[in-house]
Structure 1
Amino acid sequence: MKLQHLLRASLLASAVAAALPALAATEQAKSSTAVLFQGFHWNSANGQLYGDLQAKASDLKNLGITHVWFPPPSDAGSREGYLPRQLNKLDSNYGNEAALTAAISALNGQGIHSVADVVINHRIGTTNWGDFTNPTWGCNAVVSSDEWTGKCGNADSGDGYAAARDLDHSQTVVQNDIKTWLSSRLKGVGFKGIRYDYSKGYAPGYAALYHDAMNPSFCVGEVWTDLNFNNVDGHRQLLVNFVDGTAGKCGVFDFTTKGLLNQALSYNEYGRLRDGSGKPAGGIGWWGQKMVTFVDNHDTGPSESCGVGQNHWPVPCDKVMQGYAYVLTHPGIPSVYYAHAYNWGLKGAIKAILDVRKEQGLSSTSAVAIQRAEQGLYAAIVDGKVAMKIGPTDWNPGAGWTLRTSGNQYAVWSKSTGGGGCTSVPVAFSIANASTVSGQRVYVVGNQTPLGNWTPANGYALTAQGSGSNATWSGTANLPPATATQYKYVKWNGSSATWESNQATASGNREFTTPACGGSVTRSDGSFRF
């Protein structure tokens, strides 16, 4: 079964390449080093999102992002945009068309492609159930199984959606207007990629049809179905079926990997991450090139903070970085969630892993050699040059490896280079009982550039390990080797700083000398000094 799938995948890729020489290859058609950023969460529809993304363009480039997924851009009957109304009106609760164009332009200026959230399974009328305008469609645009009594279209080619009218994609008028919307309106404001919403609602051949009209640089579908842990292969087969149905033109979100991570991180069942053949048990184990991996998104997980937002299928809030240690080192195209980077304060920890991914050239087709997969531990070596572990059980790859970054129950190493030279060594910092208040974070600020050169705004941001004002804050910074270092912990809210009081040293600061190349050190500094 799997051998047949792999052969089909190879033949399919060759056939598509031969049959479509005029179409630019999407990231899903090659060994991709792309990194997708979901540029919103469930509560982002505040009229300011586009301006926010425009302002963050250079920061996203620095983070290592290549593609930004925007929310649905069209006028809609729902605040979040998932009940589209007038497709060709690009004013929404996220901002107006001018702001949208400016944000896309700013990202493009940083070499980042913008991906539109394309909601075409369903639509609502302008004033009632089915009076579609801009573009105008009649009752034949609605499938025969829809709840609307006025429907007069053909049978649905996928699953139904009760909150709006299910569209009949067999109708020429529907096809032509969606093609024009994608190739003219969306491409006209600068969009270069497609994220298909609710892809299980229509036959994947239509996704391929619309893909060809836009000729995107990125294409991914959302096929979210129930995961039976006793039939994981059946679940990832549904993902492969969508890709096959698009003739390999579009990839798919790896919801199998997402569900397995949920289970592993919630119950320490890390053995679920390895299948019977010794490969990753999610979609990436079958066809990594076509998979887009993620820890959480606007639907599955929280938004601004733990417990806020949709929370339909979340990773445990205190295990999020374990999830990133997995997806950012494994095959597939990984994605980063806006809320985690900018609301949860995890951007620095995420960047540390992304830096390793980029430096070591990991890609959507990287090879995974799983070392351990058991209760309490998952460890793997990827492409022979990056090692990682997640889970409470201790593990390391042994001699010849350099620890690059680590945190609560995760670590990432890269293969040590010959000659013994290096530019940095990992230093783990930990502090507790800082009595933080809402909006404050704890930073390490000191006399080294990675510590901000005594400027709090440029210091090294730590991550809270748990909740509460006195939680432990920790993180691993890369500092110059064999260097005398001074630092303090600082509470910083973006505008004002609260410094630790002086230590019993000549300088009044915490002091140590970083180890030589190949070494590492942990600074477990107890409690914040008031």
Structure 2
Amino acid sequence: MKQTNQLRLLASCFVFSFFSCEQEDAINKNEEDSRNFKVIEVTHHDGRPFSTGDDKSNLNSKYVANAGGGVMMQGFYWDVPAGGTWWNVVKGKVTAWGNAGIESIWLPPASKAQNGPFSMGYDPTDYYDFGNYNQNGTVETRFGSKTELTSLITAAHNENMKVYADIVINHNSGGQSEYNPYTGTNTYTKFNVASGKFIRSYNDFYKNSYGNNDEGSFGGFPDLCHANPYVQDWLWGRADAVGKYYKNTMKFDGWRFDYVKGFGPWVVNQWNANVGGFSVGEYWDGNAATLEWWCDNANSSAFDFACYYKMDEAFDGNDLTKLSTGDMLWKRRPFRAVTFVSNHDTDQIWKKTLAYAYILTHEGYPTIFYRDYEEWLDKNKLNNLIWIHNNKATGNTSILYADNDEYIARRNGYNGNPGLVVYLNNSNAWQERWIQTNWASTTIKDYTGNSSWYPTTQGDKWVKIQCPPNSYSIWSTL
């Protein structure tokens, strides 16, 4: 029996020694891999945060001190409840959203559309009917009345939040039939709308005296002709143009332009020059160079679909090197990129928590989807990420390490703010890495609380950090 116990002890020591050596070898290899990784300096600018271009001097301290720039909330999803209640639902959320650090709300198309009380607004009929005229089978829109909309906007402004309107100016719907000499047929292009503003006929849509088509039509709807000076005047030129009415009367602060592939970028450029306000275009394309071209010509931000698709490849495809090597709009134009994880049209990323940790620590203007925040994900974790974004995510970006399972990046700080280091782990085990920070002989912590470590950086600014499985940690100075 004694001999058996001795053998067991020797075997245990051997096994312990074997696994200790194996673990030590893995740690040493991790350190070697980290130190040999060639740091990628992604962006090159003075480090200032994303700005929506407005003067924040009149806002309260929680936004004046917002080091990371803003966070946008998409305040709807496809087929929100009908019945004219949605504006009041969103109004009931604005105080909590403001307290969480949300800077702006993007609302669905607010004017009367062909499908009346059931429309999500993307088939616009009367740009000046916000639920105050009886047409298309209803007075209120799907979302509510004009009074309820203005009350929502006022409530958001009282919380120092901006409100962005979804603008659909590629196509119209709900017109009456009329003979069109340019097609030789009847077309539904006669818009004698109840508001009496922006009356339209066949010559305001392609095919017409200005040509056969523009960059693109949508869904068989009448395709608005922006080459027509009459259309230009009503969209952005005259004192009561659509854009100016939204901005000056309805008090919207900016624009989300729908389906901008359907017309030239000069249209958004002219709108912005004549109306003002923040703008972002839905140019649905995964090519970062194409998005950059559109932004430069439209003088507008764009949703970073290139980033969206690379995140899907990285997190769901189990290859985080896509985050380091992938071309994205935020890498090319950090002050033009509006990043997102999901929206009312597309929701294909499964590992959303990692994706939100990515966009809320990286450059650009991150957008949070209503259902992710209010229904599907952990709101406390998202609020923590919003706080980190607003207080720590500043400066240009350096990628410190990337492999299939791990990704580590550094925001280099700005104007006295130390920035951060974000560690994403897509594996099923805890991971540790030695990385180089911007802080010498400084104690740091994980602001997510996922790690309890309080490591101190060495004199050469290197430090070992850790990250839990299928999760993230975000490090900065105390």
Report the alpha carbon displacement of residue 94 of structure 1 after superposing the two structures with TM.
1.1
Q: Report the 3-state secondary structure (helix = DSSP H, G, I; strand = E; otherwise coil) of the residue aligned with 1:194.
A: strand
Specify whether residues 24 and 264 from structure 1 end up closer, same or farther in structure 2 by C-alpha distance, changes over 3 A only: closer
What is the alpha-carbon distance in structure 1 between the residues aligned to residue 433 and residue 87 of structure 2? 43
Specify whether residues 368 and 24 from structure 1 end up closer, same or farther in structure 2 by C-alpha distance, changes over 3 A only: closer
**1:269 correspondence with 2:301:** no
Specify whether residues 293 and 348 from structure 1 end up closer, same or farther in structure 2 by C-alpha distance, changes over 3 A only: same
Q: Percent identity?
A: 23
Report the alpha carbon displacement of residue 383 of structure 1 after superposing the two structures with TM.
1.8
Q: Report the 3-state secondary structure (helix = DSSP H, G, I; strand = E; otherwise coil) of the residue aligned with 1:125.
A: coil
Specify whether residues 127 and 139 from structure 1 end up closer, same or farther in structure 2 by C-alpha distance, changes over 3 A only: closer
Report the alpha carbon displacement of residue 266 of structure 1 after superposing the two structures with TM.
1.4
Q: Report the 3-state secondary structure (helix = DSSP H, G, I; strand = E; otherwise coil) of the residue aligned with 1:130.
A: strand
> Where does 1:52-131 land on structure 2 (aligned, <5 Å)?
52-78=89-115, 79-91=119-131, 92-128=141-177, 129-131=188-190
Residue number in structure 1 paired with 2:406:
377
Q: TM-score, normalised by structure 2?
A: 0.70
Residue number in structure 2 paired with 1:245:
297
**Does the Cα contact within 8 Å between 2:112 and 2:124 map onto a contact in 1?**
yes
CA displacement 1:305-347 (0-9 Å, x = unmatched): xxxxxxxxx111xx11111000000000111111111111432
> Where does 1:370-449 land on structure 2 (aligned, <5 Å)?
370-383=399-412, 385-393=419-427, 394-396=431-433, 400-405=443-448, 406=450, 409-417=470-478
**Does the Cα contact within 8 Å between 2:125 and 2:175 map onto a contact in 1?**
yes
Report the alpha carbon displacement of residue 112 of structure 1 after superposing the two structures with TM.
0.3
Residue number in structure 2 paired with 1:293:
339
Identify which of 160, 164, 189 aligns with 2:250. 189
Which 5+ residue runs of structure 1 have no aligned equivalent? 1-5, 11-22, 145-150, 228-234, 302-313, 418-530
**Does the Cα contact within 8 Å between 2:321 and 2:403 map onto a contact in 1?**
yes
Specify whether residues 389 and 376 from structure 1 end up closer, same or farther in structure 2 by C-alpha distance, changes over 3 A only: same
**Does the Cα contact within 8 Å between 1:119 and 1:197 map onto a contact in 2?**
yes
Report the alpha carbon displacement of residue 140 of structure 1 after superposing the two structures with TM.
1.5
**1:260 correspondence with 2:310:** yes
Residue number in structure 2 paired with 1:223:
283
Residue number in structure 1 paired with 2:70:
34
Residue number in structure 2 paired with 1:173:
230
Q: Report the 3-state secondary structure (helix = DSSP H, G, I; strand = E; otherwise coil) of the residue aligned with 1:43.
A: coil
What is the alpha-carbon distance in structure 1 between the residues aligned to residue 146 and residue 305 of structure 2? 32
Specify whether residues 256 and 351 from structure 1 end up closer, same or farther in structure 2 by C-alpha distance, changes over 3 A only: same
Specify whether residues 344 and 153 from structure 1 end up closer, same or farther in structure 2 by C-alpha distance, changes over 3 A only: same
What is the alpha-carbon distance in structure 1 between the residues aligned to residue 336 and residue 477 of structure 2? 31
Residue number in structure 2 paired with 1:139:
202
Residue number in structure 1 paired with 2:375:
343
> Where does 1:142-161 land on structure 2 (aligned, <5 Å)?
142-144=205-207, 151-161=208-218
CA displacement 1:88-132 (0-9 Å, x = unmatched): 111221111111100000000000010000000111133442112
CA displacement 1:422-462 (0-9 Å, x = unmatched): xxxxxxxxxxxxxxxxxxxxxxxxxxxxxxxxxxxxxxxxx
Q: Report the 3-state secondary structure (helix = DSSP H, G, I; strand = E; otherwise coil) of the residue aligned with 1:281.
A: coil
Name the structure where helix makes up a greater proportion of residues: 2
Q: Report the 3-state secondary structure (helix = DSSP H, G, I; strand = E; otherwise coil) of the residue aligned with 1:380.
A: strand
Give, as a single letter, the amino acid of the residue that structure 2 aligns with 1:83: D
Residue number in structure 2 paired with 1:203:
264
Give, as a single letter, the amino acid of the residue that structure 2 aligns with 1:291: A
Give, as a single letter, the amino acid of the residue that structure 1 aligns with 2:296: D
**Does the Cα contact within 8 Å between 2:205 and 2:224 map onto a contact in 1?**
yes
**Does the Cα contact within 8 Å between 1:67 and 1:114 map onto a contact in 2?**
yes
Specify whether residues 410 and 274 from structure 1 end up closer, same or farther in structure 2 by C-alpha distance, changes over 3 A only: same
**1:368 correspondence with 2:397:** yes
Choose between structure 1 and 2 for higher RCO, CA contacts under 8 A separated by at least 6 residues. Answer: 2
What is the alpha-carbon distance in structure 2 between the residues aligned to residue 51 and residue 408 of structure 1? 40
What is the alpha-carbon distance in structure 1 between the residues aligned to residue 263 and residue 254 of structure 2? 19
Report the alpha carbon displacement of residue 155 of structure 1 after superposing the two structures with TM.
4.2
Specify whether residues 401 and 156 from structure 1 end up closer, same or farther in structure 2 by C-alpha distance, changes over 3 A only: farther
CA displacement 1:383-428 (0-9 Å, x = unmatched): 25312122324245668431121476222323233xxxxxxxxxxx
Q: Report the 3-state secondary structure (helix = DSSP H, G, I; strand = E; otherwise coil) of the residue aligned with 2:113.
A: coil
Give, as a single letter, the amino acid of the residue that structure 2 aligns with 1:36: M
Number of equivalences:
358
Specify whether residues 397 and 55 from structure 1 end up closer, same or farther in structure 2 by C-alpha distance, changes over 3 A only: farther
Q: Report the 3-state secondary structure (helix = DSSP H, G, I; strand = E; otherwise coil) of the residue aligned with 1:389.
A: strand
Specify whether residues 26 and 75 from structure 1 end up closer, same or farther in structure 2 by C-alpha distance, changes over 3 A only: farther
Give, as a single letter, the amino acid of the residue that structure 1 aligns with 2:446: L
**Does the Cα contact within 8 Å between 2:308 and 2:341 map onto a contact in 1?**
yes
Identify which of 62, 77, 87 aligns with 1:50. 87
Root-mean-square deviation (CA, aligned residues, Å) is: 2.5
What is the alpha-carbon distance in structure 1 between the residues aligned to residue 378 and residue 212 of structure 2? 46
Q: Report the 3-state secondary structure (helix = DSSP H, G, I; strand = E; otherwise coil) of the residue aligned with 1:414.
A: strand
Give, as a single letter, the amino acid of the residue that structure 2 aligns with 1:259: Y
Give, as a single letter, the amino acid of the residue that structure 2 aligns with 1:140: N
Residue number in structure 2 paired with 1:281:
327
Report the alpha carbon displacement of residue 77 of structure 1 after superposing the two structures with TM.
2.0
What is the alpha-carbon distance in structure 1 between the residues aligned to residue 192 and residue 246 of structure 2? 15
What is the alpha-carbon distance in structure 1 between the residues aligned to residue 303 and residue 214 of structure 2? 20
**Does the Cα contact within 8 Å between 2:315 and 2:426 map onto a contact in 1?**
no
Which 5+ residue runs of structure 2 have no aligned equivalent? 1-42, 47-51, 57-66, 132-140, 178-187, 414-418, 436-441, 451-467
Give, as a single letter, the amino acid of the residue that structure 1 aligns with 2:424: I
